[in-house]
Each structure stands twice: as C-alpha cells, then as structure tokens.
Amino acid sequence: MVSCLLALAFALYSVAPSAAAPRPRHSFVVKDSLAEIPHGWIQHSPAPEHYSIKLRIGLPQPNFRSLEAQLYEISNPNHHNYGKHLSKEQVDALVAPHKESTQLVDDWLESHGLSQDVLDKSSSGDWVTVTVPVSKAEEMLDCEYHAYKHPTDDDFIVRAQSYSVPDYLQGHIDVIQPTTMFGRPKAMRSTIINQGLGLDPLGVDCHTTATISCLQKLYNTEGYQPLKDSGSRLGIAGYLKEYASYSDLKQFYENWRPDAINGTFDFVSVNGGLNDQSTPGGEANLDVQYGGGISFPLLNSYYSTAGSPPVIPDSATPSNQSSEPYLEWLTFILNEANPPQVITTSYDDNERTVPKDYAIRVCNMFAQLGARGVSVLFSSGDGGVAGSQTPPSCESNDGKKAKQFIPTFPSSCPFVTSVGATYRIEPEIAAPFSSGGFSNYFSRPEYQNGHVDSYLDFLGDTYDGMYNKSGRGTPDVSAQGQNFQVIDSGKKYSTSGASASAPTFAAIVSLINDHLLRNGQAVLGFLNPWLYSIGADGLNDILGGSNPGCGTMGFSATQGWDPVTGLGTPDFKKLIDLLSDSEGDDDQ
C-alpha cells in the first residue's frame, strides 16, 4: 500500500507543473568540476558549517563582443577611432546582463532568504556578491566545501571540488566563486629572488645592477622632464598585506634619486586594505620605489587590497578572508570615475589553478579597463616555462599527468600587457627566470598572428605537445629584472624578478602618456595592438637567453617576438617619435 501511494505521489509530481508551481530543488546541473585536487594542495577537513563565504556570482554579458570590437578599434593606431576611449557609463551599458538573468538570479537568492538589501551589485549589474555560511552555500550550490592546506607555507583555503546551479539558471550564471578556484597569487616573499644586502650608491656598475639612473640611461628617458600636473597617473596594485613605506621611499630617493626627495604616493584602500607602516612589504616597496622613481614627479597611487588566504577555519574564525584579490580590486577600480591611465601588478599565478570560466570573466574586466583608456600591465612570472608557483609541477592536472609547460595568469589574458625580464646590458639578454609561453585558456589574439607564427616556424617541432601552439603568447614586452636596489625596513637589498620589470615598463608608459597629454593627444590605453604594429619599432629586440624549466632549456630569445622577452625592451625616445605618426586616419 505504501509503495502504491509513493508511486501515485511520484506520478502526480511528474505532471508538468503549473506556472505557479515551485521548481524541483533537486534539479541541478554541474557548473564546474575538478578532475583532481590541484598540485600542492591537501584536503584537510570539512569546512565548518558556520564559516562565512563571500560568493561572487557572475551574470552573462550578452554584449561583450561589441565591447571587444570597440576596444580593438580604439586601440588600433590605423583605425579612425584610435584613442576615442569609452566612458564608464558606456562600458557599463555594454557589459550589463539581460533583465531576465537579473530577475531570475534575484528570485533564486530570495528563495534562499537573501533579500535585495544584503546583495552587493556591480555598477553594471553583471556581478552579484553575497556573504553566506558554508552550510547555506552548500545548499545553494549542491556541493561540499572543505578546508585545503598547502604545505609549503601552511596556507589554508576553503573550496569545493565541484559545484552546481539549478538547471533553469544554467544560461543565466557564468561563474560562482569561491568554489573551484585554488589559485594563490604570491608576492615578493615567494616569487621574487631576494639577493641579500644591497650596494652603496657610489660606484654602481649598470652592467650588473639596476638603479633609477641605470634604467634611465638604458631606456632613454634620461633628461626628459614630465609635468606633474599633466594628468598622467600610475596605479600600483598591492595585495596580501603588502604595504608600501613612506620612510623607505624617502631613503630610496636619498640614495638613488635625490631630486625626488620630497616625492610620495597616494594611498588608496580597497575592501578595507590597510596602510601599516610598521610592516612594509618588499614587493610593495619595490613597486613604489621604481614606479615612482622613473616617473617622478607624476602622481602615483598605491592600492592596498585587503584579503589573504585564511588560517585554518574553525568555529573561532567565522569570517572568510578572500584569496581572490584580483576580482575585489577590479570591482573597485571599475567603479572609479577616473582610474589611473596605467596600472602595474606584480602578482601572478599558474593559469591552471584558476577555473577557466572565472579566468575569462576576470579577463573581460581588464578589457573594460582597456576600453576606458587604461593600460594594464602584469609581470609574466619567475619560473621560466614552469610557471610561477612553488613547488613547481609540469604535470597536467586533468588526471593524465602529461608533461607540459605552465602558463601564468592574469598574464595570459589577451587584454593585458605581459612583461618579462631581462638582465645585463650591451647586450641585454633574457633573464632565465622570465616566465613565458602559450595560454591553454585564451586563443591567440589577431594582433599577435604574424609575430607568433614567425617564432613557431623558428621553433619547429621542438617541445611539440608540451604547449598550446594556438594559445595567446606571453610575454608581450620586457624590461630589466635583476639586481634591483631596494630599501626595505630601512635596509638596502638587491632583488630580482619579473616583478621588478612590470613597474619599470609601466612607469615609462606613464612618461609617454605625459608627453601625449601635454600635446593634446589621448593616452595610450590598451597597449598591445599598438605595440605589435607601430610600437614594435620603438623596442629593443632581445636576441639571447632562454627560460629553462620542466627539465628543458625552455624557449629561446631570438629575432622578433619570443615567449621569453616578447617584442623587447622600451626605447622611450623612439616610442615618442613613433607616436607622432600614429593618430590614425584609416578605417581598417
């Protein structure tokens, strides 16, 4: 009798529901799933049910292709729209989701007791953020969260190896994180090579040491006098409790740029980021000292974004400390009416530790910045072809354990400019730690085609199967990255890494923007289409060196673009001369 009643109940439930009937709670579709726990992480324990998770829900951007098309027009020096950057309002309109998506996601959240007043939405509405207990997140996403431990430095994160969404939301949600993202961007402590106590300013040899004056001579900015009030501004992104020191900057200027002794930087807090002068960070000091030292007296802003991998989660630590700082920072900067025209970031991660759907959405946010006239530069990483994390692993994480080179992210995003590293002078050669290669997530952008094809012809069948020949190639450009003299906590240090190359190149772009603004022209904005066409003639081609890793010699630098040093290092005066012919009056 009981079985009959159950059968009857099932039959009644299976009849097509009326418009007012609730959707079945069990009707889920898997949104993302990992074949295995990413390299280096160990499952530690179930996440406590009261531990808080800040869920970021990305809604589809149906008009993104239109934004992308306009980005390439305004970044192409041969197009009549070159330099006609979009406003914040125009960009917001191009990435806004359909109203149906917004309504369905709002209704879904409300069905879980999450009303509008607890939701935080981006200005375009394409991101919805809400903080919930793990138990609620597991219910909403039909998943299980665990704490995972990384033994190299005892980092803990709370993640799921898969998650799902209700089937009726499948086309209305692109991504939800933190779920399957195991990335952990690192700063100087792990990815920059610290080489001990630094040198005395007297008697420095520019063949082996990088200082402000050495870089000015090498990259041809010596004697150029930027105008403080030209409007050119450099933004420096900082994460993971890295704080820039005012006193260290003053001491640095005393040693290496005395005319800038009264120079400083603006501090900007993101998501409650601190400005702790008692615990300065080596990465933050490096970025501020060289970004400011090369671009002085232009305005520099240091963005301190709160968040770090959490300590072991338990009932005593209920708050989620975000280890996804890029999205936190991007949400903030895209909401600014007038962001800096150049932004440098010296943090990176192995591409494969970042879920592809999440990487695409973050990459699209860099495109939004580019459309507004912002040049975004990232260091390429410090592990050669083995990526950027320690301990390195050159095995694929799809369960097959195939040997492969490891690209880095966000460097692999086609809407940012990736900066590799060189060392020595006369000639400069590729630094062996300079990460570079080919993305497994992003296809090669059109602006790279001829340059990358030439390199692949040079490479032949070497390393076949270890990299993606059709992927976006990195880096795009390069700059010195070895033996940089830095002041940290009042002491002199010598340090190396592509993390030094990125602020160096970015500062030179700020000088170029200064020149353009003073002559009534638009700033450069998204650099790559210009660099791979007209701008390439203003770069110093690097012909020697390689980036070994994964038991190989890695890729070799050679004539033209290569996946070690990109198109080369900057010659400021050549680039300025080239820009006089790049106003663009042909409709391509």
Count of CB atoms situated within 10 Å of the CB of 98? 16
* Chain-centre distance for alpha carbon 521: 28
For residue 247, which amino acid is it? S
Q: Is 176 annotated as a binding residue?
A: no
Q: Is 92 annotated as a binding residue?
A: no
381 close to 183: Cβ distance less than 8 angstroms:
no
End-to-end CA distance of the chain: 76
Beta bridge partners of 58: 127, 175
CA distance 64 to 10: 43
For residue 398, which amino acid is it? D
Q: CA distances (Å), 104 to each of 62, 140, 167, 170, 419, in order?
A: 16, 14, 12, 11, 41
DSSP secondary-structure letter at 40?
T
Strands annotated E in 61-152:
120-121, 127-133, 146-150
The β-bridge relationship of strands 342-345 and 375-379 is parallel
CA distance 563 to 466: 14
In terms of DSSP H, where are the helices of 209-316? 212-218, 246-256, 282-295
CA distance 344 to 302: 10
CA distance 340 to 233: 5
User: Tokens 């952990």, residue?
Assistant: 184
DSSP letters along 383-397, please?
Answer: SGGG-S-SS---B-T
Under DSSP, is residue 188 helix (H, G, I), strand (E, B) or coil?
helix
CA distance 204 to 214: 9
Q: Can the peptide bond before residue 391 be classed as cis, meaning omega within 30 degrees of 0? A: yes
CA distance 418 to 567: 11
The β-bridge relationship of strands 477-480 and 471-474 is unpaired
Q: Is 542 annotated as a binding residue?
A: yes
- Residue 287: active-site member: yes
Q: Active site residue: 73, 92, 155, 287, which one?
A: 287
Which of 550, 546, 280 has the alpha carbon at shortest distance from 432? 546
Which of 302, 365, 295, 351 has the alpha carbon at shortest distance from 508? 295
Question: What is the token pair recorded at 74?
Answer: 């305004």
Which of 194, 196, 188 has the alpha carbon at shortest distance from 238? 188
Q: Active site residue: 138, 142, 174, 283, which one?
A: 283
41-67 burial code (b ≥16 CB/10 A, e <16): beebeebbeebbbbbbbbbbbeebeeb
Q: Active site residue: 75, 124, 393, 499, which one?
A: 499
Q: Is 183 annotated as a binding residue?
A: no
Q: CA distances (Å), 574 to each of 220, 237, 377, 384, in order?
A: 9, 28, 20, 29
CA distance 81 to 104: 37
**Segment holding 194, helix H or strand E:** strand 193-197
Just list the catalytic residues: 283, 287, 499
Binding site residues for Ca(2+), as ranges? 541-542, 560, 562
